[in-house]
Structure 1
Amino acid sequence: MDKITHEMRLAKWTTIVRECNNSGLPKKEWCAANEVDNKQFFYWQRRVREEVFQEVKNIVPLETAFAELQAPVCNSAIHTRPDSVLNVGNYTLEINNTISKELLQTLMQVISHAQ
C-alpha cells in the first residue's frame, strides 16, 4: 500500500474511531447504530492506536534515566520534651507547640471515639 493510500485510510479510520468515542455509547452499540462491522471497527481502532504509538515513540525517546536522591536524615536520637501532656482515659497524648489545630482536633476525635 502506498503512503497516500495509507494516510487516507488512517484518516478515515481515525474519524470513525473518534466519532464512536465521542458518542458516549458502548462501542458495539455505536457500531450497530452506524452499520459498522464490530470486527472491522476494532481492527481500525487497533491500527489507529498503533500509528499513534509509533508517532509518539518517534517524538519521545524511550530512554530511562535515574537521578540519585539523598535520603532525608532522620535523627531518632533527638528527644524533645512535650509542651503539653493530655491524659484522656487510658491514653496519654504528648504535644508540642508546633502541632496544627486541625491535627489536634483530629487526634481528640480519634481518642474520643476510641473510648
Structure 2
Amino acid sequence: MNMREMAQEVRLANWAGIVRARRDSGLSVRCYCQEQGINEKTYYYWQRRLGQAACEWLASEDMPSQKESPVFAALTMPSSRDSGSIVIRLNGAEIEIGGEANLSAVETVLKVLRGC
C-alpha cells in the first residue's frame, strides 16, 4: 500500500468515526454539524464518499467474478422508503440500509457480502 492509499484510508476512517458519532448522538445532521463546527455540505460529502468506498470495496478483485451480466428489473418503490437509505443488490439478493442505520451494522453486512 502506497502513501496515497494509506492517507485515503486514514481519511475514510476519520470520516466514518464522525458519521458514526453523529448517528450515535441521535441529533439531526444540522444540529450535530452546528455543535461540532462542521460544514453540513462537508458532512454529506464525507457520507457520500464513504458509500462510494464501500461500493468499490464490494466490487474489488477479492469478490467472486460473475461470468454473466447482472439482470435488473424495474421495481416500484414504496413511498415510505427513507430518502437517505441505501439499497445494495448483489447476486440476486437485495439489502436496504436505512439512513439512520448503525455504521457498525453496515460494516458487518458489507463483510458478510464480501465473503459470499
TM-score (norm 2): 0.48
- Structure scoring higher RCO (CA < 8 A, sep ≥ 6) equals 2
TM-score (norm 1): 0.49
